[in-house]
């Protein structure tokens, strides 16, 4: 089973999460719809939503991971960097780096700001630390997720 705990390194506290009010209802509906198929993941998403600061889209900081914003993170164990764009499930395309918000990494990254680190347990039970390095300053234009 794949689990993650979002924590700030050295403090034991989870990093702040900020989510746009415009996507809140859809994220909640996705999580509730996933409860039967993947209860652990659904609970993690609902937990992240529950602790998030909800802001209007216009007030969402540009350095925060959001639906449609490309985010680059580093695996602190391997030093490998990867760029992904969290999207709604129907727009996911792993070959193009578009990951569903209903994946463990999608749930882990959503709402985190540049510089935030989170602890991540791999499927092999290995604990890793991922750090958000960069968030694209603009959302992916509407409709591009599905191309």
Spatial contact of 144 and 81, defined as CB atoms under 8 Å apart: no
Domain assignments of the chain as residue spans, ordered by start: 18-135
Spatial contact of 36 and 43, defined as CB atoms under 8 Å apart: no
Tokens read off for 95: 């070959």
Q: Give residue 144's pLDDT.
A: 41
Tens digit of pLDDT per residue, the chain (147 long)? 444 444 444 445 778 999 999 999 999 999 999 999 999 889 989 999 999 999 999 999 999 999 999 999 999 989 999 999 999 999 999 999 999 999 888 998 999 999 999 887 666 767 888 999 999 976 554 444 333
Q: Give residue 139's pLDDT.
A: 55
The dotted CATH code for 18-135 is 3.10.50.30
Alpha carbons 112 and 59: distance in angstroms, whole number = 15
Distance, CA of 98 to chain centre: 12
Q: Give residue 119's pLDDT.
A: 80
Spatial contact of 103 and 112, defined as CB atoms under 8 Å apart: no
Alpha carbons 50 and 106: distance in angstroms, whole number = 16
């Amino acid at each position: 089973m794949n689990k993650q705990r979002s924590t700030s390194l050295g403090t034991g506290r989870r990093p702040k999460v900020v989510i746009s009010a415009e996507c809140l209802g859809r994220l909640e509906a996705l999580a509730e719809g996933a409860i039967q198929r993947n209860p652990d993941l659904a609970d993690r998403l609902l937990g992240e939503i529950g602790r998030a600061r909800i802001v209007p889209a216009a007030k969402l900081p540009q350095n925060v991971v959001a639906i449609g914003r490309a985010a680059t993170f580093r695996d602190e164990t391997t030093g490998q960097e990867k760029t992904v764009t969290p999207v709604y499930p129907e727009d996911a395309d792993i070959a193009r780096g578009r990951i569903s918000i209903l994946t463990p990494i999608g749930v882990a990254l959503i709402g985190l700001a540049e510089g935030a680190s989170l602890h991540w347990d791999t499927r092999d039970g290995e604990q890793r630390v991922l750090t958000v390095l960069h968030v694209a300053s603009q959302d992916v234009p509407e409709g591009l997720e599905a191309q």
